[in-house]
Amino acid sequence: MCTSLKISPPLSSLPPILPAPTPLPPVLAPSHCTASLLPSVSQERCRVCKAGQMGEITNVTEYQAIAKQKLPKMIYDYYASGAEDEWTLKENREAFSRILFRPRILIDVSRIDMTTTVLGFKISMPIMIAPSAMQKMAHPEGEYATARAASAAGTIMTLSSWATSSVEEVASTGPGIRFFQLYVYKDRKVVEQLVRRAERAGFKAIALTVDTPRLGRREADIKNRFVLPPYLTLKNFEGLELGTMDKSNDSGLASYVAGQIDRTLSWKDVKWLQSITSLPILVKGVITAEDARLAVHSGAAGIIVSNHGARQLDYVPATISALEEVVTAAAGRIPVYLDGGVRRGTDVFKALALGAAGVFIGRPVVFALAAEGEAGVRNVLRMMRDEFELTMALSGCTSLADITRSHIYTESDRFARPFPRL
Ligand code: FNR
């Protein structure tokens, strides 16, 4: 794949006896070089060809293959898998690919402003980090690395309830705007304590996950008898006897959820949550207009259109397909965000064109963590940002406000206006 360029001087110009080659100083592999991460390829090859066997990482999806190589199967499968047939998992990506652009031309795009505000907090771009559990299985620095990378990129990290680092530990990594994702336990005292701790640790909002009264059937986890490795704990629950997971004849996480998570959770609990915290609440897991209207009435500060990365109910639509009906139902009263299958700057643009106020990314973060820790997560955020900026430029948009519904074609536009054949 990589060819090293050899420039030979004319023979006559060579000294008669070449001096013994001085050993080259050790050179660290470029931080985004996949060669350095593969045991079969030496650093030397990386230095010579500047990349290596798989080449330089040029998009976020490439981290998945590296993570697969590096991680034990049980852990990789936990991160990668979706529920049952994984139809929605595939569809979360494919639905993006069915949306096409209607770019505008001859617009001065020499300056592009990607900044935005989320719940009043200014961030550098409308791309944030979704909560994904147990990040220390991917890398020893886990959530610390993610928090630092998000902060360096000027964006928001959402910390999972089931993180392997506590809210206090993540706060101690330094400044940054952070949200806390909440799972509601049967024991409401536990929930209250946790919300207090998140508030004290400076978290700015609660993302209340509402799509998990039971865990979706992730067959890879069942086959692998997935369990949190014994050297790790769900740090937020350490000391409450809820920080570990027992091995079971099923997915250990599914059994944990069945034992601890409150299946009775309903809209009245959004009110209850508001009664115990003044933090704004984002309802994470809405995919219908009906629920969007209920979320508005419940006093939620925002909605995250999410199907949990296709890990809960299979055969729900891709989030990008559900987005427009939710946006229409929310009617501008609260902001609507989206996660699920966002892997390209073009995906971010499409989501914004359909009315999202921003997006969150999940798996690319854990895969990049597995590959290169904090540097990987920084690189994911950088690549997403660069691609999004380029998409804006090539579509003729200089600020997020310029991105409109008429910059894209969706399948539903087929009847409204001529649709190019796919
Ligand atoms: C998740 N997700 C998730 N959601 C949540 O509310 N709490 C959690 O603890 C987790 N944990 C988690 C672990 C892993 C490994 C994945 C892949 C996902 C769902 C997550 O927040 C988000 O909704 C999806 O990951 C978005 O889809 P993509 O970007 O992964 O396709």
Binding-site annotation: residue ranges for glyoxylate? 78, 183, 218, 308, 311
| Overall domain count for the chain | 1
Cβ–Cβ under 8 Å, residues 212 and 257: yes
Neighbour count for residue 57 (Cβ, 10 Å): 24
In tens, the pLDDT along 89-112 reads 999 999 999 999 999 999 999 999
Amino acid at 252: G
Find the 129 Cα to ligand 1 centroid distance in Å.
Answer: 10
What is the value of pTM for the model shown? 0.89
Alpha-carbon distance values, 98 to 326, 355, 421 (Å): 19, 17, 10
pLDDT for 251 = 87
**pLDDT bucket at 252, cuts 50 / 70 / 90:** confident
Is 14 contained in some domain? no
Is 17 contained in some domain? no
Is 271 contained in some domain? yes
Q: Atom of ligand 1 at shortest distance to CA of 341?
A: 31
pLDDT for 256 = 87
Is 49 contained in some domain? yes
Tokens 């897991």 correspond to what residue?
285
**Range of weakest confidence among 29-38, 348-357, 358-367:** 29-38
**Range of weakest confidence among 17-26, 49-58, 216-225, 384-393:** 17-26
pLDDT for 305 = 98
Is 343 contained in some domain? yes
Q: Would you say the C-alpha torsion 72, 89, 213, 286 has a positive or negative sign? A: positive
Q: Would the CB of 34 count as within 6 Å of ligand 1?
A: no
Six-digit token pair at 144? 């610390």
Active site annotation includes 308: yes
Does residue 262 register a pLDDT over 90? yes
Q: Atom of ligand 1 at shortest distance to CA of 93?
A: 31
Q: CA-to-CA distance for 259 and 247, rounded, in angstroms?
A: 13
Binding-site annotation: residue ranges for FMN? 131-133, 160, 181, 209, 284, 306, 339-343, 362-363
Q: Would the CB of 366 count as within 6 Å of ligand 1?
A: yes
Range of the domain at 180: 25-416
Of 112, 111, 95, 151, nearest in space to 128 by CA: 151
Cβ–Cβ under 8 Å, residues 174 and 151: yes
Three-state secondary structure string covering the chain: CCCCCCCCCCHHHCCCCCCCCCCCCCCCCCCCEHHHHCCCCCHHHHHHHCCCCCCECCCHHHHHHHHHHHCCHHHHHHHHCCCCCCHHHHHHHHHHHCCEECCCCCCCCCCCECCEEECCEEECCCEEECCCCCHHHCCCCHHHHHHHHHHHHCCCEEECCCCCCCHHHHHCCCCCCEEEEECCECCHHHHHHHHHHHHHCCCCEEEEECCCCCCCCCHHHHHHCCCCCCCCCCHHHCCCCCCCCCCCCCCHHHHHHHHHECCCCCHHHHHHHHHHCCCCEEEEEECCHHHHHHHHHCCCCEEEECCHHHCCCCCCCCHHHHHHHHHHHHCCCCCEEEECCCCCHHHHHHHHHCCCCEEEECHHHHHHHHHHHHHHHHHHHHHHHHHHHHHHHHHCCCEHHHCCHHHEECHHHCCCCCCCCC
Is 110 contained in some domain? yes
Does residue 395 register a pLDDT over 70? yes
> Does residue 24 or residue 259 have the better pLDDT?
259
What mean pLDDT comes out for the span 261-280? 96
Burial tier of 125 (Cβ tally within 10 Å: 0-12, 13-18, 19+)? buried
Is 309 contained in some domain? yes
Q: Would the CB of 162 count as within 6 Å of ligand 1?
A: yes
In tens, the pLDDT along 57-75 reads 999 999 999 999 999 999 9
Does residue 47 register a pLDDT over 50? no
pLDDT for 415 = 67
Q: CA-to-CA distance for 300 and 303, rounded, in angstroms?
A: 7
Q: CA-to-CA distance for 25 and 144, rounded, in angstroms?
A: 31
- Supply the CATH number for residue 156's domain: 3.20.20.70
Find the 100 Cα to ligand 1 centroid distance in Å.
Answer: 26
Q: CA-to-CA distance for 74 and 224, rounded, in angstroms?
A: 6
Atom 14 (ligand 1): residue with closest C-alpha?
132
Report the percent of the chain where pLDDT is more than 90: 78
Find the 418 Cα to ligand 1 centroid distance in Å.
Answer: 36
**Range of weakest confidence among 35-44, 217-226, 274-283:** 35-44
Which of 32, 139, 308, 407 is an active site residue?
308
pLDDT for 247 = 79
> Does residue 149 or residue 239 have the better pLDDT?
149
Atom 1 (ligand 1): residue with closest C-alpha?
132
Atom 23 (ligand 1): residue with closest C-alpha?
308
Give 37-45's long-range contacts (Cβ < 8 A, gap of 24+): 37/66, 37/69, 37/70, 37/371, 37/372, 38/66, 38/69
Six-digit token pair at 372? 């290169």
Q: Which of 128, 260, 308 to mutate to test the pocket of ligand 1 (most atoms within 8 A of CB)?
A: 308
In tens, the pLDDT along 171-228 reads 999 999 999 999 999 999 999 999 999 999 999 999 999 999 999 999 999 999 999 9
Is 152 contained in some domain? yes
Q: What are phi and psi of 360, to 5 degrees?
A: -120, 145
